[in-house]
Amino acid sequence: MFLLNACVDPWEDRFNKEFQTTQTVWELLETNQEYSDFVALLKETELDSILRRSASFSVYIPERTSLESLSGLTTGQKKSILNFHLSNSIVYSSDVIESLSVKTLNGKQIFLERRDGEIILNQTTRLLKGDIRATNGALHEIEQLLELRSNIYEIIQNNVEFSSTADFISEGSEVFFDEENSLPVGLDSIGQTIYDSVWVTTNDFFTQYADLNSEDESYTVFLAEDSLLDSFQNGELKGGYLATLPRFITHGIYTEDDLPQELISVNGQKLFLPGEMYDFYKSASNGLVYKLNSLANIGVPLSVTWEFTDASDFDTIRGIKSTNYLDRIEALEEISVTEIDGDFTEFAYEIKNGALNRDYLKIGTTGGTSATIVFDLPQIIPGKYRLTINAIIRAVDGIRYDAYLNGNLISAGNSLNGGTYQFELREIGTVEIMEAEDNVFSMVIDGSNSQLTKCYIDYLLFEPVK
């Protein structure tokens, strides 16, 4: 991973004691004939006026043959690219212990790393001759013009193949008028202030997880293109991938040679990614982008359905299973009634033909008693889920229940009353599962009818959501 080193060698180590110069960065550039083409471009784009100032600079000078690629560009385009080769930070070769990032005048970063005895810029360009010192900085000769790259968010936004991810991130964007920083320029016909307006965009995803639009941060991301998300094999994984997108982003820059199989994501969760699951896609100004070629077995949650298929005895219903879940989870744990409160004259499980899977759970009591049913959720992948229950509605039975996750009340006073004998899907609420094991969902069912209480449950459904 690129480490943003702040190490600075002692002053006497940077400069040879015999080294003396009286020339500034601009004077060194202008008086060296080898740099004449570069200097001409600086003058054309009026960047020479910046380099003439009394300020500190590092200048990265490409070999003159690579400058020919700028010939067909506008002056503005040339200026943007040349600004990427100028920095107000004085950097010497000795500063690059392992790796270092340098902010340039166009706001984007240059990443330098020491590799096999050489210094490489942005993973592609060698430093040919460094540390040509001036009174206010240094010149560095590099083998080619540096590519001006988009940042990670711009890559996502500007490539139609990532439109689902772009839309998902943009959902949290909000634009508002910044009156404090807007300049009043007059009054309109009814006396209201007219502003030279400043508009500010905020984004929940950037604030909570990773600001992929920032040039001051660096990330490695693993993106799934739409063709993968919408494919027959992976279509059911789409919601789970987007809902857990922060798990596929990590701080820092990992090249293919340095990329470990297990990463710590920006939300603090572990991500296990074997090398065959992704391919390198593109370098960004603030990181690297890899493209996923599969979503199987890398921790993408699916909608999970607990179905009722078989009863073994009074205390336990076995055979509750996941539908189309991860391959590594072949079966989920049993459910069991762990608490029975009140005097039951009748309590029974019955498996009947249900509306969806041809089976359902019936809990019958008399005397207005209640029971707690516990569902173990082993190895469910952490994330936010919308939890719904498909259950029968019958007015005369007077059924109500409270729902809990890991002992915490998540929904209270839910009624299964009203209507006739028919199953309906009812939303319990959105829950966030933090751990990958030992999670428990429970329902405390209360029979308010003193004569008869019956509860019919066809299935429970967990769907990943944002």
CA 300 → CA 227, 333, 340, 463, distances in Å? 16, 20, 37, 12
In the chain, count of helices (H) and strands (E)? 10, 29
Cα Rg, the chain, nearest whole Å: 32
As given in the structure block, the two tokens for residue 84 are 């990427």
**Residue 440: how many CA atoms within 13 Å on its side-chain side?**
16
pLDDT tens digits, one per residue of 21-65:
789 999 999 999 999 999 999 999 999 999 999 899 999 999 989
To the question of domain 304-464 being in CATH 3.30.350.10, the answer is: no
Residue 266: both structure tokens together: 């920006």
* pLDDT for residue 298: 80
454 Cβ partners below 8 Å, 6+ apart?
A: 362, 363, 364, 365, 394, 397, 399
Residues in contact with 320: Cβ distance below 8 Å, sequence separation at least 6, in sequence order: 306, 307, 308, 309, 332, 333, 334, 335, 375
Question: In this structure, what token pair is assigned to residue 208?
Answer: 């909570």
pLDDT score of 157 more than 90: yes
Closest by alpha carbon to 209, among 172, 259, 258, 177?
172
- Do 60 and 146 touch, CB atoms closer than 8 A? yes
Task: Decide if pLDDT at 432 tops 80.
Answer: yes
From the candidate CATH numbers 3.40.50.720, 3.40.190.10, 2.40.50.1070, 2.30.180.10, the one assigned to the domain spanning 152-292: 2.30.180.10
Q: What percent of the chain has pLDDT over 90?
A: 33
Encode burial over 193-217: b for 16+ CB neighbours within 10 A, e otherwise. Answer: eeeeeeeeeebebbeebbbbbebeb
Indicate the domain borders of the chain.
19-142, 152-292, 304-464
370: its two tokens:
């209640």
Tell me the C-alpha distance between 31 and 21, whole Å.
Answer: 13
Tokens of 164: 């689902």
> Tokens standing for 86?
């100028």
Do residues 357 and 459 touch, judged by C-beta distance below 8 A? yes
Quickly tell me which residue has 């569902």 as its tokens.
375
Alpha carbon distance 135, 106 (integer Å): 23
pTM: 0.67
Examine domains 19-142 and 304-464 and report if their fold is the same: no
Angular region, 120: left φ>0, alpha ψ -120 to 50, beta rest: beta
In 3D space, the residue among 365, 377, 437 whose CA is nearest the CA of residue 401 turns out to be 365
Lowest mean pLDDT of 228-237, 262-271, 398-407, 453-462, name the range. Answer: 453-462
Host H or E run for residue 164: helix 163-170
Tens of pLDDT, residues 172-221 = 777 666 666 667 767 777 767 666 666 666 888 999 899 999 988 999 99
How long a stretch of residues is the chain?
Answer: 466
Q: How confident is the model at residue 248 (pLDDT cuts 50, 70, 90)?
A: very high
Signed CA dihedral, 382, 223, 120, 118: sign only: positive
The CATH superfamily of 19-142 is: FAS1 domain (2.30.180.10)
The DSSP element (H or E) to which 278 belongs, if any, is strand 278-284
CB 370: neighbour CB atoms within 10 A? 19
Structure tokens given for 312: 């073994």
Which residue in 317, 311, 312, 369 sits closest to 345, CA to CA?
Answer: 369
Q: What is the four-CA torsion angle of 97, 98, 104, 110, rounded to 10 degrees? A: 150
pLDDT tens string 373-415: 777 776 677 778 888 887 766 545 567 788 998 889 999 988 7
User: Average model confidence (pLDDT) for the chain?
Assistant: 78
Task: Please state the rounded mean pLDDT for residues 424-446.
Answer: 80
- Distance separating alpha carbons of residues 262 and 273, to the nearest angstrom: 6
Instruction: Reply yes or no on whether the pLDDT at 351 is more than 70.
Output: no
Q: Which residues contact 106 (CB under 8 A, 6 or more apart)?
A: 80, 83, 84, 148
165-172: list long-range contacts, CB under 8 Å, 24+ apart: 165/223, 165/224, 165/242, 165/245, 168/242, 168/245, 168/466, 169/203, 169/205, 169/212, 169/245, 170/203, 171/466, 172/203, 172/204, 172/205, 172/206
Between β-strands 137-142 and 57-62, what pairing exists: parallel, antiparallel or unpaired?
A: parallel
Q: Quick one: which of 167, 171, 162 has its CA closest to 221?
A: 162
